[in-house]
């Protein structure tokens, strides 16, 4: 079948190669760090003041090496890593031993997904709509004002926006909480009070991400639509007296949306890496904060678990996008 041979198989092979390369890099990079997690664990045990026989310490070392997948040569560790990953087992966390890495990820993942999915989809939708309208009516003063505002916001790192919002709306005018995902001491039982408390804590992190994201999508869509307005089919539609709203939606925005959909897929895949700096600024209990703490403590297993999850998510998103793209763009065929 032409579809299977020329379209599906090459993309599945590419998908597997990306995961293989990503997994290999995830294995290598943490081992280049100067931190020895096993030695750190042994130091914590000895600092507590307990006397251990040297033979007992050596037995503990061997046990920790096996638990953390650090026993044997690098090649043996590499094959052991893939064996464990195929079983969905990233091993225990070094710092929060003996809690499994997957348990920690499952606890933090809903916070990050709730925060980033909402802000990504919202900023993508608003940015594309406003960007398309501003490009089509670029001669209007309000469109030029929107463009100037977006040009100022877009280069600003989102964590700078986060710090500014934190200082303004949490310290200067204490409307929103400073840190955390919900109030300390609140019973985590599903109720409207809990939902409102979570939304209140998530507002500032979400706003900081949405502001920069909207400006980025706005500028990208404006550029795409501006280029399309010079195309012959749009010029002909304007000469033929087609209404501006129909030209804007059916001729300009729909064609400009194709690369934007690809960008949305990549953005959603990156969610599994967490908004590291923003979550750290607000002490938000998501994957970004978890990844930051794992880097500081040299927690190999936790770093590998979060990073590899992000690699798989992005690669899967790209594969799905490749498979559905022909339905969005009639110029592409399974041939």
- Is 108-298 a domain of CATH 1.10.3720.10? yes
Nearest to 161 by CA among 121, 115, 210: 210
Q: Nearest-5° angle of CA 81, CA 84, CA 89?
A: 125
pLDDT for residue 186:
63
Q: Where are the domains of the chain?
A: 108-298
User: Is the peptide bond between 175 and the residue preceding it cis, with omega within 30 degrees of 0?
Assistant: no
Quote the CA–CA distance of 278 and 156 in Å, as a whole number.
Answer: 13
Mark out the alpha helices in 88-154 (DSSP H runs). 101-136, 141-153
19: how many CB neighbours lie within 10 A of its CB?
A: 17
Give the bridge partners for 92, in sequence order: 100
Q: Could you give the CA distance from residue 168 to residue 263 in angstroms, rounded to a whole number? A: 32
Per-position DSSP letters for 275-304, written without gaps between them: -HHHHHHTT--SHHHHHHHHHHHT-HHHHH
Q: What are phi and psi of 92, to 5 degrees?
A: -85, 155
Task: Compute the Cα dihedral for 265, 269, 270, 271 and give only its sign.
Answer: positive
Rounded-to-integer distance, Cα 286 and Cα 212, Å: 20
Instruction: Output DSSP code: residue 128.
Output: H
Angle formed by the axes of helices 254-269 and 101-136, nearest 10°: 160
State CA 253 to chain mean position distance: 26
Q: What is the length of the chain?
A: 335
Write down the pLDDT at residue 68: 67
Question: How far, in Å, CA of 252 to CA of 218, rounded?
Answer: 14
Residue 277 CB partners (closer than 8 Å, separation 6+): 157, 158, 159, 162, 288
Q: Is the dihedral of CA 290, 282, 270, 107 positive or negative?
A: positive
Q: Angle 277-281-284 (CA atoms, 0-180°, nearest 5)?
A: 90
What are the backbone angles phi and psi of residue 274, rounded to the nearest 5°? 80, 155
- Residue of 250, 208, 245, 221 whose CA lies nearest to 127: 221
Res 334: pLDDT? 46
Amino acid 40: pLDDT: 67
Mean pLDDT, consecutive 10-residue stretches, the chain (335 aa), reads 68 83 79 68 64 66 69 77 77 74 83 82 88 84 86 80 81 76 66 76 82 87 83 79 78 79 72 66 78 75 80 79 69 53
Global pTM reads 0.75
């Amino acid at each position: 079948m032409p579809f299977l041979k020329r379209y599906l198989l090459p993309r599945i092979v590419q998908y597997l190669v990306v995961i293989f390369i990503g997994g290999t890099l995830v294995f290598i990079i943490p081992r280049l760090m100067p931190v020895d997690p096993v030695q750190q664990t042994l130091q914590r045990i000895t600092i507590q003041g307990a006397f251990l026989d040297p033979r007992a310490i050596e037995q503990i070392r061997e046990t920790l090496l096996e638990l953390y997948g650090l026993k044997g040569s690098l090649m043996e560790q590499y094959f052991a890593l893939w064996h464990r990953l195929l079983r969905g087992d990233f091993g225990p966390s070094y710092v929060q031993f003996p809690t499994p890495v997957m348990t920690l990820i499952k606890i933090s993942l809903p916070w990050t997904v709730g925060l980033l999915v909402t802000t990504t989809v919202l900023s993508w939708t608003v940015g594309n709509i406003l960007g398309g309208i501003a490009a089509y009516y670029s001669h209007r003063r309000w469109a030029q004002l929107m463009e100037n505002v977006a040009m100022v916001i877009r280069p600003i790192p989102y964590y700078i926006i986060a710090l500014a919002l934190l200082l303004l709306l949490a310290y200067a005018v204490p409307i929103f909480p400073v840190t955390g995902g919900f109030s300390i001491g609140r019973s985590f039982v599903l109720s409207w009070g809990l939902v409102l408390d979570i939304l209140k804590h998530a507002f500032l992190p979400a706003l900081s991400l949405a502001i920069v994201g909207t400006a980025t999508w706005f500028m990208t869509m404006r550029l795409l639509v501006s280029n399309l307005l010079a195309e012959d089919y749009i010029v002909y539609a304007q000469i033929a007296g087609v209404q501006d709203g129909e030209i804007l939606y059916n001729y300009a925005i729909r064609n400009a949306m194709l690369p934007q959909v690809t960008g949305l897929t990549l953005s959603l895949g990156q969610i599994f890496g967490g908004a590291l700096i923003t979550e750290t600024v607000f002490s938000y209990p998501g994957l970004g904060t978890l990844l930051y703490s794992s880097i500081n403590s040299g927690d190999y297993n936790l770093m590998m678990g979060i990073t590899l999850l992000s690699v798989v998510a992005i690669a899967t998103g790209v594969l799905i996008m490749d498979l559905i793209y022909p339905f969005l763009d009639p110029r592409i065929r399974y041939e």
